[in-house]
Amino acid sequence: MSETDLPAADPVAMTYDEAFAELGRVVAELEAGGASLEVTVSLYERAVALQRRCEMLLGEAELRVSQLIARADGTTGLADLRDVSAEA
């Protein structure tokens, strides 16, 4: 992502894999150095946006996994957290 690149995709529309891969590319470019101050700041802003997207998607995945419960018969299912919180 240099000064001549096309506008980057909005992180909000990216999958986890897309955001994580681009975050790696942006970090590599930041580590390489040599960019102007403006480009460096833009790259840093992009890295933060991508990192936040990854964290959000991981949080959603963690919630989905935490909703899985083991049943006495050995099968798994989803717990409806709305029902659990209503009982509390």
CB 49 within 8 A of CB 26: no
Which amino acid is located at 43 in the chain?
A: L
Report yes or no on 22 lying in a domain. yes
Whole-prediction pTM value?
A: 0.70
Per-residue pLDDT tens over the stretch 1-29? 444 455 678 999 999 999 999 999 999 99
Report yes or no on 5 lying in a domain. no
Report yes or no on 44 lying in a domain. yes
Report yes or no on 6 lying in a domain. no
- Enumerate residues 6+ apart whose C-beta is below 8 A from 49: 11
| Rounded-to-integer distance, Cα 30 and Cα 43, Å | 7
Per-residue pLDDT tens over the stretch 18-74? 999 999 999 999 999 999 999 999 999 999 999 999 999 999 998 888 777 656 666
Beta partners for residue 69, in sequence order: 77
CATH code for position 39? 1.10.287
The total domain count for the chain is: 1
| Rounded-to-integer distance, Cα 28 and Cα 21, Å | 11
Report yes or no on 72 lying in a domain. yes
